[in-house]
Amino acid sequence: MIELVFATNNQHKVEEIQDAIGNQLKIITLAQAGIHIDIPEPYDTLEANASQKSFTIFRLTGKNCFSEDTGLEVEALHGEPGVKSARYASDGKIFSENINKLLQKLGSIEHRNARFRTIISLILNGREYSFEGICEGKIEQFPRGNQGFGYDPVFSPLNSDKTFAEMNLREKQQYSHRKKASDKLVLFLQQAIIPDN
């Protein structure tokens, strides 16, 4: 089985990616790889931050690895919070505060279109490959549900009357930006290095 180090300390992301990938690949977390650092995300694009994280882990371990960076982009706020999604209200990554700030900035605006966008950066044999996943939707007036994490309580994907936080993982994966990007990752790896059965 192919093993990849996933450059994150976020257990929710690990669970979502492993569920999306299934048993075709084995995900090694940073902790399992013996790495206990918080990799900085200093850049102003998801692509650059994802690349920074994956190359950092590759330099530390020499192993094939991947990272992802995800942002919520709200049309009426000109793409905010975007690359600063996790630190929108403060550097503390407290999502209740981030949600409160988002809802306050939107106020009574009726046009609430938004999208989640995920970029995966894969380092395979020292070379980088990138994959993108997008989920279109809207921001609700009030939080609903207690599943998931991050902005899930206020984001409803297109063609759904539920927020992500009202869905179980199986339901969420039908729409998930992270799953769309990881599906592209798996397809690439199948074609590149996983032999035919």
Does residue 143 have a cis bond before it (omega within 30 degrees)?
no
How many CA atoms lie less than 13 Å away from 45 in the CB half-sphere?
7
**Do 131 and 186 form a contact (C-beta atoms < 8 A)?**
no
Is 69 among the catalytic positions?
yes
d(CA 193, CA 176): 25
Report the C-alpha gap between 29 and 26 in whole angstroms. Answer: 10
| Active-site choice (19, 38, 69, 196) | 69
Q: Is 72 helix (H, G, I), strand (E, B) or coil?
A: strand
Beta strands in 30-83 (DSSP E): 65-74, 81-82
Rounded CA separation 8/192 (Å) = 24
Task: Identify the CA nearest to 181 among candidates 13, 3, 64.
Answer: 13
Question: 151 CB contacts (<8 Å, ≥6 apart)?
Answer: 72, 85, 95, 98, 99, 102, 116, 164
What is the set of active-site residues?
69
